[in-house]
Amino acid sequence: MAVDDGVGGTASRGGRGAGWLRRAMLGCAAFIALAPAGAAEPGGKGAQVPSETLAEFARPHQLVDIGGRKLNLFCMGAGPRTVLFDAGGSDWSVIWALVLPEVAKHARACAYDRAGLGYSDPAAGPRSPIAIVEDLHALIRAAGIETPLVLVGHSLGGFHTKLYARLYPEDVAGLVLIDPAEERSSERVRALLLKRYGASLTARLELRDNDGLGLLLARFERCVAAAKDGDLDPQSPLYRRCSDPVRPALGPAIAAERARIQVTRSYQETQGSEVINSVYGKAAGDPIYAALFRPGVFGNKPLIVLTHGRFDADDPFDVADFQSGLWLHEQTAALSRRGRHRVVPDTSHNIEIDDPAAVIDAVVEVLGSSSR
C-alpha cells in the first residue's frame, strides 16, 4: 500500500509520539504481537459476562447502509440515553464484550465496527481521523441513533470520539476516553519533559520514538504487502506480527473470529491505513487540532479520561513515557470544565480487558452526569 510520504518521510517529522507513542500503540498489533504466542492477559476485574453473551459479539448484527457500504452495529439494552463505543487501532466491537453488556443495564449500549474491520465493509481512500468521524456521523444518522449520546473511545478510538465531539458537538452529551491517542504530543509536553528530566533524556526519548514510529509504519506496510497475494498463514511468524493476540478473557468464539478476520487483506489494509493516517503518522492536521482542542472547549459536558497504571519504575524512559501520558491525558480532561482524569491501577493499555469494572463505572458516572 502506498504511503504519500514514505516511511522515511513520515518518521522524520520528529517525536510525533513525545514518549507516549510506544505506550499508546500497545493496543495495536505491531507491538502486542511481540508477546509469545497465546500469551494470556489478566482475566478482567469484575467481568462476569456469560459465554453465550460473549459469543454474540462474534457475528454481524445490524448492517447499516451509510451510502453504498455497510457498517456493523451491535446494540443491547434500552433507555433514554445511548452509549456508543469505538475500539482502538486494529480492533473492533469484540473488544467491548466485557463492558457493553453491563452498561446495557443502564442505557442503550452500542458498539460499531469501523470500515474494513470486523463485519463492516471496507472503504476507499485513507482511513484518516476525519474519514472515520464522517463515517460515524453517517452511521448515527442512518441507524436513527438518538442524540445527544455518550461516546466511549479507546486508544485511536479515543481520539476519533474526541474529534467527533468537537465537530458535531450537538450529538454528544458526554465522553469517556480510555487511554486515548493524543495529537501534537511532543509539542504539548516537551517543555514539561525538559523541566523535569532535562535536555538529554527528552531528546533521546523523542528520537527513540521517531525510530519506533518508522519501524511501526514499515511493519504495517509489510503486512499489507503480504496480504495482497492472499490470506496470511495463521501459523506463521508474520501473522503474529500483523495481528492482535488471543484475548482469553473474551472467550473462544471471539478468539476464533479474530483469527478468521485478521488474516484477510481487508483487515490488514485497514489497520495499516488507520495507523499510517492517524495523528501519529500524519502531521497535516496538527494546526487544525491545535485550534480545535483548547482548554474548556467542551464546556460543561461530563468527560472522564482513564489512563492505564502499569509502567517500569526502573526504566527512566518508561517513567518519562508514563509521565508524558499523564500530562497529555490531564490536558484532554481539561477540555471540559467537568473533566476528570483517573489512573486505573495494575492495568495495561487495554483497560477494558484488564479492569472492565473501571470502564463500566466511568460510563455509568458520565451517564448520570449527562442527564443533569
pLDDT tens digits along 176-215: 999 999 999 999 999 999 999 999 999 999 999 888 888 8
User: Are 162 and 180 in contact, with CB atoms under 8 Å apart?
Assistant: yes
pLDDT of residue 213: 83
| Distant-in-sequence, close-in-space partners of 23: CB < 8 Å, separation ≥ 6 | 308, 311, 321, 322, 325, 349
Element (H or E) spanning 308, and its range?
Answer: strand 303-308
Q: How confident is the model at residue 153 (pLDDT cuts 50, 70, 90)?
A: very high
pLDDT tens digits, 259-292:
999 999 999 999 999 999 999 888 899 999 999 9
CA–centroid distance for 143 within its chain: 22
> Nine-digit cell at 93?
466491537
Rounded CA gap, 189 and 206, in Å? 11
Q: What is the DSSP letter of 307?
A: E
pLDDT of residue 45: 67
Residue tagged 464522517 (cell numbers) = 134
User: Are 63 and 119 in contact, with CB atoms under 8 Å apart?
Assistant: yes
60: exposed, middle or buried (Cβ count in 10 Å: 0-12, 13-18, 19+): middle
What whole-number percentage of the chain has pLDDT above 70?
87
Mean pLDDT of 302-317: 97
Rounded CA gap, 281 and 214, in Å? 9
pLDDT of residue 372: 61
Mean pLDDT of 299-326: 96
pLDDT of residue 244: 86
SS3 at position 306: strand
Rounded CA gap, 241 and 232, in Å? 11
The pTM score is 0.89
Q: What is the DSSP string of 37-91?
A: TTPPPP--TT----HHHHHHTTS--EEEESSSSEEEEEEE---SSEEEEE--TT-
| Distant-in-sequence, close-in-space partners of 235: CB < 8 Å, separation ≥ 6 | none
Mean pLDDT of all residues belonging to the chain: 88
Hey, what amino acid is at 243? S
pLDDT of residue 245: 85
174 forms beta bridges with 150
Q: What is the 3-state secondary structure (H, E, C) of 148-206?
A: CEEEEEECHHHHHHHHHHHHCHHHEEEEEEECCCCCCHHHHHHHHHHHHHHHHHHHHHH
Q: What is the DSSP letter of 334?
A: T
Q: Say which range, 1-10, 146-155, 346-355, has the weakest mean pLDDT.
A: 1-10
Q: How confident is the model at residue 20 (pLDDT cuts 50, 70, 90)?
A: very low
User: Are 268 and 224 in contact, with CB atoms under 8 Å apart?
Assistant: yes
pLDDT tens digits, 34-80:
333 333 333 456 567 899 999 999 999 999 999 999 999 999 999 99
